[in-house]
Amino acid sequence: MAKEYFLRMGDGEKIFMTKEQIIADLQDGSADAADLATVPTLSDDKLDKLLEIITNPSRIVGVEPGMEVPVTHDIGAIRIDGDQGNSGVGIPASRLVGSMMHERAFGADTMELGHIDYSFKPVKPVISQECQTMESCQQNMVIPMFYGAMPNMGLYYTPDGPFENPGDLMKAFKIEEAQASMLHAAEHGIRDMIWINQRLYKVGSDGTNFDTIGAAGDSDLYASLNAIEALRKEFPNMYIEAGMAGELVLGLHGELEYDGTVLAGLWPHEQVKLIAKAGANVFGPVSNTNTSRSSAWNLARSVTFVKATVEASTIPCHVNMGMGVDGVPMLETPPIDAVTRASKAMVEVAGVDGI
């Protein structure tokens, strides 16, 4: 009987595969990404390296000494005091205490402050509270401390916001009205993101992590790019990280452009050029995990997307590696064996500048 190795499905379930089956999935996953984004497949030596990482018999793996990279955060101390909706563990602690725990106890390279909703729009009514907490964090902490939030343009549409829901309009074949609604929402989103970050920066924030850009489609990316451009112009030294929601920019509007480039349909290696042009310091590429495929397939696919992005980029790339993206299983408690293998592969094969 052929030797079998334990892997994970994209949903985290333990599976067993032979070496030949793993190689076939690695090749298939890489070919899928290459075909979709029109980027090169992984070379044989890179696939061999992935095979070596995946079949390592140890439960936990790590990068070779000297290859470590800085790690940025998603959601910050809400991980400590938040509820399950934010994958929080519900420990009653202030955000300052949670952030200091990450700095002093967990060895985080950077940290961020975030509102419990983790979207920009709800921050407006509580901006003074956010500024006060940011000031406390900056007084007490040493590592770079960002403000993190999602552009989340979905909150600007009915029933949560003032603009008619584009989905409802499109269902009624009111395409132009849907596009107008998305543009109006984007204009308000740009205004809000600038206003919030102006205030946080003026009380000492290191900068901002724009998280899950594009979650509401191309208007979400349009708003983020324009907000980043305006903030960079006003604050040349602001730290700005721009991370994506998915591998492909969904063309809900379909005709929005930035710097003469249509945003709909952009893949990570194309997104990074606009993010850099807008003025961000660091880009967070994303590739989505397919829960019905193996970790070998998912990891090879993600590494193919991200390697092409790193090579096309002029700014550092901190790959997004939370639950359900970039080779990490779609599970709230992703198995450590799968997480550390994906982590090592992104550094040693894709060549990322950070995670």
Partner 1 sequence: MPIAHIMASGMTGLRAAGDLVARMQFSKSMRIGEAKDYVAKKLNVSAADLSDEYVMRGVREELDIGVITSVPGCAKGIAAKMNIEKLLDIEINSCAKFRKTIGQ
The one among 31, 34, 71, 312 contacting partner 1 by CB under 8 A:
71
Point out which span in 4-12, 33-41, 287-295, 344-352 binds partner 1 (CB under 8 A).
344-352
State yes or no: residue 110 binds partner 1 (CB under 8 A). Answer: yes
Q: Is 2 in the site for partner 1 (CB under 8 A)?
A: no
Residue 108 binds partner 1, judged by CB under 8 A: yes
> What burial letters (b/e) apply to 150-186, b meaning 16+ CB within 10 Å?
bbbbbbbbeeebebbbbeebeeeeeeeebbbbbbbbb
Kindly identify the residues of this chain, within the stretch 207-226, that bind partner 1 according to CB under 8 A.
207
**Both tokens of residue 50?**
């992935």
Return all residues near 95 (Cβ < 8 A) that are at least 6 apart.
Answer: 76, 77, 78, 81, 113, 114, 133, 137
Task: Please provide residue 9's backbone torsions phi and psi, each rounded to the nearest 5 degrees.
Answer: -80, 170
Which one-letter DSSP state was computed for residue 4?
E
Least separation in angstroms between residue 143's CB and partner 1 is 4
Of the ranges 21-29, 122-130, 133-141, 212-220, which one interacts with partner 1 (CB under 8 A)? 133-141
- Give SS3 for 147: strand
Question: CB under 8 A: which stretch of 59-67, 121-129, 256-264, 300-308 binds partner 1?
Answer: 59-67
What is the C-alpha to C-alpha distance for residues 181 and 339, in angstroms, rounded to an integer?
40
36, 170, 183, 323: residue in contact with partner 1 (rule CB under 8 A) = 323
Q: For 257-352, where are the alpha helices, taking DSSP H only?
A: 268-278, 295-312, 336-345
- Other residues' Cβ atoms within 10 Å of the Cβ of residue 230: 18
How does DSSP classify residue 221? Answer: H
Closest CA to 200 of 123, 124, 279, 147: 147
Contacts with partner 1 by CB under 8 A: the residue count is 65
Q: Decide whether 34 or 71 has the Cβ nearer to partner 1.
A: 71
| Interaction between residue 118 and partner 1 (CB under 8 A) | no
Is position 14 an interface residue for partner 1 (rule: CB under 8 A)?
no
| 301 binds partner 1, rule: CB under 8 A | no
Q: Which residues contact 232 (CB under 8 A, 6 or more apart)?
A: 238, 240, 278, 279, 280
Q: Pick from 22, 37, 47, 61 the residue near partner 1 by CB under 8 A.
A: 61
Q: Which stretch binds partner 1 (CB under 8 A): 135-143, 150-158, 244-252, 258-266?
A: 135-143
8 A C-beta contact, residue 294 and residue 15? yes
Within 264-283, the residues that bind partner 1 by CB under 8 A are: 281-282
Q: Are the beta carbons of 37 and 266 closer than 8 angstroms? A: no
Q: Is 68 a binder of partner 1 (CB under 8 A)?
A: yes
Q: With binding defined as CB under 8 A, does residue 346 bind partner 1? A: yes
Is 58 a binding residue for partner 1 by CB under 8 A? The answer is no
Q: Does 101 bind partner 1 (CB under 8 A)?
A: no
Binding site for partner 1 (CB under 8 A): 60-63, 65-74, 79, 102-104, 106-110, 138-145, 201-207, 237-241, 281-282, 314-316, 321-323, 328, 333-334, 336, 339-340, 343-344, 346-347, 352-355
